[in-house]
């Protein structure tokens, strides 16, 4: 349980409406077994397979689930630490039992989930894991994604007498497990494996999923399946080797050879049969829209083996750094200390929308039909450190990530901004893109595409892209691309920007652009993510794990990464030599300038104190800093829960000016660049309407305070105009952070939001 809860906590940033887990009830096995000890030591050893599954769910944070679990499963309150060790504990069904009768299971498979509600409110009933029957828990499932054909499936299952208890799309999955399992038995198919059953279930599903299945019918086993939603598998074992079964081509349950696969990919034959039968324990953690972790642990003579499944690496990095990324239509089966991965063969969906017909399992006998092929996936080593997902000395992840920006920006540039012997920046080298640079230069246009903060970073960089590439550059909100069925062409270059690399809207837009034949480039933070894998080439921003829902360091690093891309695309241009050189030297100074800005923390705290009761905040910017206004406003609204609007200053007279009076706090970004004079005039007009002004100005500015003597002045270091947005956003990030804390809100897990939006 500890592992499940820690895994869930690591993933809590991705969804935090409610959480739950399912694990084996080892008490059931032991309660009638007084001679366990003899058995454990003796030769006549039995497998301790749990026959019952405990499901525990709670609304709200993981801490609530933890408190409930300790109380209900172990009769322990938080302030009752000593009682845990006492000889009495209480089982899930309220029975008191002696702790000496709780025995470790040889094989243990557990799953857990933290939810971000999409179907039905975040209450206990809708919380995962979902079950085939809440009394027996014969099949339990956690799911990240969305099942688009859940309604016809539900109708079919209800016609066949199944009772539904939740509002979720997920509940059809365990119900289908039970339905098909019974169906196979009726049809005389008694040897259907858990993996085959799961494949038959997923065959009926449309939409996106990362799933982990557990069943009392298949104790100690777990099956994970993926299509559309991210799913990683981690492997941890004492020997550094993992047993892996490889069989023939089409997998039909035939005799299997057992091979031993090393992390290096080398293989050697080793029999897994014989005395020391493995003892797996599996635990899984997920979110309806997210995460899954699974462990399989050997606890007898074999080295301990644990398998983890999770929606992202942070849930497993404490246990293992050896991971493999599952691909769409992969199904992974963990049992007896081994894992096997199968690829489901593509077949036409038998009955879209689930009308009953000849091929439907609804009526008559039904046999397994899915064909699959055993596949291998490369085991990679995670570069992530546990510290990167810890808050360290900071109070919140958002605060930590704001303060990490100087180092994160340096990481983005490391090895890419090449220096000469004197330490000056000489050129840009982007390994992941060099082969495609010529094609991009020949494009008809460049399209920058993303959502939220990632889209704002596209706005911040557009002007420089236009200037350096001399190509038309358009911006697309990813969610709008499919709605409008944008005209994309094969001579377009589409650049997809995403911190997580898993945002459903961006992923869909990418698939659309690929289908149109456009060259697809990724600017992504998460290595191995769907977007980084699906693009033709790209740049990882290397900002490090970003846990706070509000994107901060990813934003500044995305801009820096795209500056590098623009520089590399223009390296042959003689006319741009001086400009390019200025930008490259400016980049070198950027981490230091951001560090300088962070020293304004106390000033921003003071300003936040002044503004904490306000209901609205306007932010004006233009040119390179239009993005700063939008991004600053997005931060304020998403975490401080204050209405805020980022406005292109040139639009002020066309409407927003009507909002201005002596009560309205207005931030104007007016650092010294090509827009300076126009911004000075904006400040004058706002002042003429008595606006309550806060001005972000360059550190050497002397004019603005004369223009608006009553304004609060925030001074930031001056950098090259196209890099100024990286510096200017810092005070706005700090302001939104302090406003959030002062207003008593959670900045890392703001209301209604999730870090990765993996549903459209």
Q: Six-digit token pair at 420? A: 């000469």
Which residues of the chain form contacts with ligand AGP (CB under 6 A)? Answer: 450-454, 498-500, 503, 506, 549-551, 638, 756-757
H-only helix segments in 485-600: 504-515, 530-534, 553-569, 577-598
Q: Pick from 692, 695, 704: which is nearest to 616 by CA?
A: 692
Nearer to ligand AGP, 317 or 757 (CB): 757
CB-nearer residue toward ligand AGP: 106 or 401? 401
* Helices within 334-484 (DSSP H only): 397-403, 405-413, 437-441, 452-469, 478-484
* Least Å from the CB of residue 640 to ligand AGP: 12
**Do residues 672 and 624 make contact, with C-beta atoms less than 8 angstroms apart?**
no
As measured in angstroms, the least distance from the Cβ of 499 to ligand AGP is 4
Q: Which is nearer to ligand AGP, 470 or 480 (CB)?
A: 480
Q: Which helix (H) or strand (E) holds 645?
A: strand 643-648
Closest CA to 508 of 539, 476, 537: 476
Give CA 298 to chain center in angstroms. Answer: 29
Contact between 685 and 702 (Cβ < 8 Å): no
Nearer to ligand AGP, 232 or 719 (CB): 232
- What is the rounded CA–CA span in Å between residue 220 and residue 218? 7
Provide the minimum distance between the beta carbon of 580 and ligand AGP in the complex, in angstroms, as a whole number.
28
Q: Which is nearer to ligand AGP, 286 or 749 (CB)?
A: 749
Q: How many CB atoms lie within 10 A of CB 365?
A: 11
Nearer to ligand AGP by C-beta: 277 or 449?
A: 449
Nearer to ligand AGP, 234 or 522 (CB): 522
Token pair of 304, please? Answer: 């301990």
Which residue lies nearer to ligand AGP by CB, 406 or 450?
Answer: 450
Query: Which helix H or strand E contains 58, and what residues bound it?
Result: strand 53-59
CB of 83 to ligand AGP, least distance (A): 42
The Cα–Cα gap between 635 and 740 comes to 10
> What are the residues whose beta carbons fall under 8 Å from the beta carbon of 528, sequence distance 6 or more?
232, 325, 380, 501
How near is the Cβ of 738 to ligand AGP at its closest, in Å? 16
Considering the complex, what minimum distance in angstroms separates the CB of residue 551 from ligand AGP?
Answer: 4
Smallest distance from ligand AGP to CB 481, Å: 14
Sign of torsion, CA 732 737 743 749?
Answer: positive
Q: CB of 611: closest distance to ligand AGP in angstroms? A: 20
Nearer to ligand AGP, 166 or 749 (CB): 749
Query: Smallest gap, in angstroms, from Cβ of residue 196 to ligand AGP?
Result: 35
Report the residue number, 552 or 679, with the smaller CB distance to ligand AGP: 552
Which residue, 215 or 503, has its beta carbon nearer to ligand AGP?
Answer: 503
DSSP letter assigned to residue 300: S
Quickly list DSSP for 417-451.
EEE-TTS-EEEE--TTTGGGHHHHHT-SEEEEEE-
Q: Min. distance of Cβ 451 from ligand AGP in angstroms? A: 4
The number of beta carbons lying within 10 Å of the beta carbon of residue 406 is: 20
Strands 111-115 and 130-131: unpaired
Residues in contact with 209: Cβ distance below 8 Å, sequence separation at least 6, in sequence order: 143, 144, 145, 146, 147, 202, 225, 226, 227, 228, 229
What minimum distance in Å lies between the beta carbon of 234 and ligand AGP? 22
Shortest Å distance, C-beta 278 to ligand AGP: 38
Read off φ and ψ for residue 367, nearest 5 degrees. -120, 155
Beta-carbon contacts of 749 under 8 Å, excluding residues fewer than 6 positions away, are 12, 13, 16, 61, 549
- Tell me the C-alpha to C-alpha distance, in Å, between residue 619 and each of 26, 313, 659: 58, 37, 12
Tokens encoding 684:
């004058």
Residue 469 near residue 443 (C-beta atoms within 8 A): no
Helix (H) / strand (E) containing 283: strand 281-286
Shortest CB 51 distance to ligand AGP, Å: 42
* Residue closest to ligand AGP (Cβ): 452
- Closest to ligand AGP by CB, 332 vs 523, is 523
> Are 185 and 481 a contacting pair, CB within 8 Å?
no
By C-beta, is 147 or 549 nearer to ligand AGP?
Answer: 549
CB-based contact 137:28 (threshold 8 Å): no
3-class DSSP state of 355: coil
- Min dist CB 291 to ligand AGP, Å, is 15
Indicate the residue among 471 and 753 with the shorter CB distance to ligand AGP: 753
């Amino acid at each position: 349980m500890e592992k499940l809860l820690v895994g869930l906590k690591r993933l809590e940033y991705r969804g935090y409406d409610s959480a739950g887990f399912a694990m084996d009830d080892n008490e059931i096995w032991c309660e009638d077994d007084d001679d366990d000890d003899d058995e454990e030591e003796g030769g006549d050893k039995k497998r301790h397979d749990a026959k019952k599954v405990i499901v525990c769910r709670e609304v709200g944070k993981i801490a609530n689930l933890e408190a409930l679990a300790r109380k209900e499963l172990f009769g322990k309150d938080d302030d009752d630490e000593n009682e845990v060790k006492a000889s009495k504990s209480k089982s899930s069904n309220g029975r008191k039992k002696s702790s000496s009768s709780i025995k470790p299971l040889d094989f243990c498979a557990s799953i857990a989930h933290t939810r971000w509600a999409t179907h039905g409110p975040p209450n206990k009933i809708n919380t995962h894991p979902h079950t085939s029957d809440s009394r027996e828990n014969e099949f339990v499932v956690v799911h990240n994604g969305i099942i688009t054909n859940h309604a016809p499936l539900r109708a079919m299952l209800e016609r066949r007498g199944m009772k539904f208890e939740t509002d979720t799309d997920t509940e059809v999955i365990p119900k289908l497990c039970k339905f098909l399992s019974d169906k196979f038995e009726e049809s005389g198919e008694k040897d259907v494996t858990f993996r085959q059953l799961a494949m038959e279930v997923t065959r009926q599903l449309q939409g996106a999923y990362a799933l982990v299945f557990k069943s009392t019918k298949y104790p100690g086993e777990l099956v994970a399946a993926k299509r559309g939603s991210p799913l990683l598998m981690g492997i941890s074992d004492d020997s550094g080797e993992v047993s892996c079964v490889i069989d023939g081509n089409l997998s039909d349950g035939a005799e299997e050879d057992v091979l031993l696969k090393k992390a290096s990919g080398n293989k050697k034959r080793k029999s897994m049969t014989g005395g020391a039968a493995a003892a797996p324990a599996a635990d899984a953690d997920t979110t309806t829209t997210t995460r899954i972790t699974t462990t399989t642990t050997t606890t007898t003579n074999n080295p301990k083996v644990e398998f983890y499944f999770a929606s992202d690496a942070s849930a497993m990095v404490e246990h293992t750094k050896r991971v493999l990324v599952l691909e769409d239509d992969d199904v992974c089966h963990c049992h007896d200390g081994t894992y096997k991965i199968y690829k489901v063969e593509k077949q036409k969906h038998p009955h879209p929308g689930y009308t009953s017909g000849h091929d439907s399992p609804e009526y008559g006998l039904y046999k397994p039909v899915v064909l699959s092929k055993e596949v291998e996936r490369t085991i990679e080593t995670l570069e992530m450190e546990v510290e990167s997902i810890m808050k360290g000395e900071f109070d919140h992840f958002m605060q930590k990530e704001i303060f990490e920006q100087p180092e994160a920006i340096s990481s983005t540039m490391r090895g890419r901004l090449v220096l000469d012997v004197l330490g000056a920046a000489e050129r840009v080298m982007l390994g992941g893109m060099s082969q495609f640079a010529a094609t991009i230069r020949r494009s008809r246009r460049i399209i920058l595409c993303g959502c939220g903060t990632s889209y704002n970073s596209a706005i911040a960089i557009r002007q420089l892209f236009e200037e350096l590439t001399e190509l038309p550059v358009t911006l697309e909100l990813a969610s709008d691309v499919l709605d409008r069925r944008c005209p994309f062409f094969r001579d377009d270059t589409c650049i997809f920007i995403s911190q997580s690399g898993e945002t459903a809207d961006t992923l869909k837009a990418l698939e659309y652009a690929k289908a149109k034949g456009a060259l697809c480039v990724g600017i992504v933070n998460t290595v191995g993510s769907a977007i980084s894998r699906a693009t033709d080439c790209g740049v990882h921003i290397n900002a490090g794990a970003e846990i706070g829902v509000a994107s901060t360091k990813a934003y500044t690093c995305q801009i820096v990464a795209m500056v590098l891309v623009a520089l590399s695309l223009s390296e042959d241009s003689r006319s741009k030599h001086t400009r390019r050189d200025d930008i490259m030297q400016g980049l070198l100074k950027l981490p230091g300038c951001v560090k300088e800005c962070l020293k304004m923390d106390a000033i921003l705290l003071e300003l936040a104190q002044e503004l904490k009761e306000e209901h609205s905040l306007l932010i004006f910017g233009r040119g390179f800093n239009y993005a700063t206004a939008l991004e600053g406003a997005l931060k304020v609204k998403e975490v401080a829960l204050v209405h805020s609007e980022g406005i292109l200053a040139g639009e002020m007279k066309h409407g927003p000016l009507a909002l201005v009076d002596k009560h309205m706090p207005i931030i104007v970004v007016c650092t010294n660049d090509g827009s300076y004079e126009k911004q000075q005039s904006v400040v004058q007009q706002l002042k003429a309407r008595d606006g309550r002004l806060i001005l972000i100005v360059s550190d050497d500015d002397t004019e603005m305070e004369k223009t608006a003597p009553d304004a609060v002045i925030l001074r930031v270091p001056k950098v090259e105009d196209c890099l100024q947005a990286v510096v200017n956003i810092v005070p706005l990030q700090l302001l939104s952070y302090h406003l959030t804390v002062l207003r008593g809100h959670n900045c890392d897990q703001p209301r209604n939001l999730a870090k990765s939006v993996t549903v459209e």
